[in-house]
Amino acid sequence: MKNLKIFLLVIFCIANLFGQNWNNIINTGISTNQAVGANVLANQSGINVLYTTSGTGQIYYVLMSSSGTIIKQVQIDSEVYVSLLVGDNDNLFGVYVKNGSLKVVRSTNLFTSWTDISPSGASNVPVTLPPSDRFQQSGIESGSYQMFDAAYKDGRLHLAWTETVSGLSEAYYNEYFNQNWLPIKEEITSDYIGEKGGRPRIAILPTQLIFSYNWLNNGDLGTIRTRYRGIGGPVWSSSVTSFTGNSAGEKISSDNTYIHLFYYQWLQPGGNIPLYHKKILIGNSNWGTATLLANNIDDWNGVKCSKTVNGIFQMSYITFQYSTPGSANLIHRSFSNNTWSAPYTVSNTFGYSEFFGFSTASNDLYFNWFNHPSNVSDLYYRQYDAIPLAPQNLTVTRSSTGHPLLNWTKNNEADIQYYQIYKWSTYDAGWVPYATSLTNS
């Protein structure tokens, strides 16, 4: 009787490139009338893009491969304003404004069809569109371009928005969980009598949420305040002033150690809009000294953030110089060991009214942006291609036919093409290809 000896098999995940570098810029071939928004979310299915156009306000979902090839494109709605895209490998949520109300659509079937799950009562949401020649003008604040935010994790969709109530702005919050909106529409700006405020932003922490919002003391400008809330329960902290000047826009995010607050300070008509950063440890309320990151930011796009598996906090924004045509650059920076990296120019192929999306998956970075040099917006794409991660949770058992059966957890990497399995060969005195798997077994 022969003994079956199983040697440990080696699995390699084959990505587009094994190197760790910036891939070339790709024109995806998508052209549309002037685009007024772009969102990106990378997951196991590929690169998910949500964008809107001016005029009839059409909103489209696009699924791309990691090489920039268009797999599918679906029109979701029309007569809408700016949008957001959040989700994970199985759920995608599109959030936008239509007829003054906040709309939410959800897709779970490989993102082909979308179901309306909009909350009731999220109305009177003020929005405006950015001027198409904003890079030829100076001192334009963000106004009410994006008066809502959304975040998704662990089956919970968190939604915050601004409403105009008796001529004043108020910020509200609601949560979608177990296919239902929780019944209470909570006011974020409610711990001060008579407090107003809008433009809320959300960051998900390990056990809490944190919101930033703007008091809008001077039209569309004002003081920034922040406030914690428990996840799954209406336990709110008192609000804390984070910045006392005139902010034209904000972003709040977290790397699970620090909370990062970005704001775009409006100084004076005709002046630049600098980008500043503050941070605190999670649970704290004493915001420290601000750090200047850029001298002039496009506050209509603002800052977009994420964290990679290696624990590095990633962010991106657009800087520009007023000229004809405008000179604009898409910038990436990372935060590690309490230090910001130098700015890296992802692209300078911009025209007049470009918008960009940014996402991470595993340790890869994904960017999409619209270039609008004339009357058409062209969608471009670029990836920072990191070394593939090793498959997780590998187990080896005996199959029903007596062969080795391997199972592992598929990594959340949009550019994995297949897994190559190798075995040790005594005859060849080395590792030789044994099998190729498109799945995780």
Domains of the chain: 19-385 (2.120.10.70)
Residuewise pLDDT in 10s, the chain (441 residues): 333 333 445 555 555 445 579 999 999 999 987 888 899 999 989 999 999 988 788 999 999 999 999 999 999 999 988 899 999 999 999 999 999 999 999 999 878 899 999 999 899 998 877 766 666 554 454 445 678 999 999 999 999 999 988 888 899 999 999 999 988 899 999 888 778 889 999 999 999 999 999 988 777 888 999 999 999 888 999 999 999 999 989 999 999 999 999 999 988 776 788 999 999 999 998 998 999 999 988 888 899 999 999 999 999 999 877 665 557 899 999 999 999 999 999 998 776 657 899 999 999 999 999 887 666 889 999 999 987 777 777 787 887 787 777 787 777 777 776 777 777 777 767 777 777 776 665
CB 276, CB 292: distance < 8 Å: yes
CA–CA–CA angle 280, 283, 284 (5° rounding):
45
Take residue 78 and report the two structure tokens written for it: 């029309």
Backbone region of residue 135 per phi and psi (left: phi > 0; alpha: psi in -120 to 50; beta: other values): alpha
Helix (H, G, I), strand (E, B) or coil at 169: strand
**Which residues is 327 bridged to in the sheet?**
321
Task: Identify residue 85 by its one-letter amino acid code.
Answer: L
Assign 3-state DSSP to the chain and report helix, strand, coil percentages, each to 5: 0, 55, 45
Local structure of residue 278 (DSSP, 8 states): E
Helices (H), 92-218: none
Which residue carries 């471009």 as its tokens? 380
Angle at 425 between CA 422 and CA 427, to 5 degrees: 150
Beta carbons of 124 and 133 less than 8 angstroms apart: no
Nearest-Å Rg of the Cα atoms of the chain is 23
Tell me if 302 sits within 8 A of 317, measured CB to CB. yes
| Through-space distance between the first and last CA atoms of the chain, rounded to whole angstroms | 29
Tell me the CA distances in angstroms from 411 to 81, 109, 114, 200, 326, one per residue in order.
34, 20, 26, 33, 40
> Which amino acid is present at 88?
D
Burial of 208 (0-12, 13-18, 19+ CB in 10 A): middle
Residue 371, beta-bridge partner list: 378
Would you state the structure tokens that stand for residue 293, as one six-digit string?
A: 């990151």
| Cα–Cα nearest to 286, from 241, 333, 237, 331 | 241
The two three-digit tokens of residue 92, written as one number: 């995608």
Q: How big is the chain, counted in residues?
A: 441
Give the predicted TM-score (pTM) of the model. Answer: 0.89
C-alpha dihedral (261, 266, 270, 275), degrees to nearest 10: -10
Residues β-bridged to residue 319:
297, 329
HSE-CB for 359 with a 13 A CA cutoff: 26
Q: What's the pLDDT at 7?
A: 42
Contact yes or no for 341/333 (Cβ under 8 A)? yes
| 3 state SS of 281 | strand
The answer to whether the CB of 389 falls within 8 A of the CB of 309 is: yes
Query: Peptide bond preceding 206: is omega within 30 degrees of 0, i.e. cis?
Result: no
H or E segment at 94?
strand 92-98
